[in-house]
Amino acid sequence: MNRNFVFQDDQELHRLTVQNRLLREYELPVLRRILSGKSDVRILDIGCNDGHKTVNLFSDFPGVQVIGLEYLEDLAARAVCLHGNDHFTFCRCDVEERDFAQILTDVMKTRKIEAFDVIYLSFVLMHLANPQKLLVILQQFLAEDGRVVIVEPSDRTSRLVPDEEDLLGTFLEILSSDPLAGNRTCGYDLPKLLASSGYQDIIIEQEAISCKPEELAKKQDIFETFFSYLPQDLDILCEQNPENPQYKEWKTWMDLHYETLKQSVCQKNAKISMGLLIVSCTRR
């Protein structure tokens, strides 16, 4: 089970907008360094959603040609309608399908792209049954001097101070067992996974999203990005499994503590750091 079926919910789309704004601060410098001095830049964005982040993140690069792949048909259609043009191509594609490599090859031929300077995946591998299979396939589409850039959560390294009641710890414990939330330790395991998939020059570009105590607006963005979807997940789980005692227990805890947790994260003296790995690498 995964969260794909709620990705088109208005609340989730708002959360993704905030998430994109928050992550841009960390992703854009990495991309600028990787693509510095390059022209006619070619980028593959896997999991492009409705295309808004794709255009916002990659438009400034010279001569850019971007192919965005999205699993959900409605979102892919929205991306085509709102953002498709001579520089941005969007299509519906399931990277876990057997014919994925051929589908991507055909799309690349239509855009006259032989290989990509950057293959970008953000919160994608955590939702796949076999992420290594995709990583192995993607090597054939990466230019010799190109880099894969991957963004994934690493909840083991998340911290909140002060947090006398360990609300963050309980929240993350529930999140780790949420069947809709994907593999929340994906980032922690990512460097080893990349090495075993045949990649090299593996660089950990970022290990956490954090902010200064006085950055209240950023704290609100962090809370919206990393916390706000779990109550929605629990509502869905309880609706689908009304007799499940574990889901009821989780929802009861969330109803009692969610607002207190939000206040703890967003208060002026709080120090919040959410584990998030941004990793880049090359093919062998």
Q: What is the CATH number of the domain that holds 92?
A: 3.40.50.150
pLDDT of residue 1: 32
pLDDT of residue 43: 98
* Dihedral (CA of 162, 263, 215, 189) sign: positive
pLDDT digits (tens, 9 = 90+) for 254-280: 999 999 999 999 999 999 999 999 999
In degrees and rounded to multiples of 5, residue 44 shows phi and psi of -110, 120
Name residue, tokens 């299979």: 133
What pLDDT band is residue 8 in, cutting at 50, 70 and 90? low
Name residue, tokens 């919206």: 224
Give the count of domains, the chain: 1
Range of the domain at 61: 4-283
pLDDT of residue 25: 94
Q: Of 147, 191, 153, which Cα lies nearest the Cα of 172? A: 153
Give the burial class of 38: count Cβ atoms within 10 A of its Cβ; 0-12 exposed, 13-18 middle, 19 or more buried.
Answer: middle
pLDDT at 109 over 60: yes
* Dihedral (CA of 206, 207, 212, 216) sign: positive
pLDDT of residue 13: 78
Give the burial class of 33: count Cβ atoms within 10 A of its Cβ; 0-12 exposed, 13-18 middle, 19 or more buried.
Answer: exposed
What's the gap between Cα 44 and its chain centre?
14
pLDDT at 2 over 60: no
In degrees and rounded to multiples of 5, residue 47 shows phi and psi of 85, 50
What pLDDT band is residue 14 in, cutting at 50, 70 and 90? confident
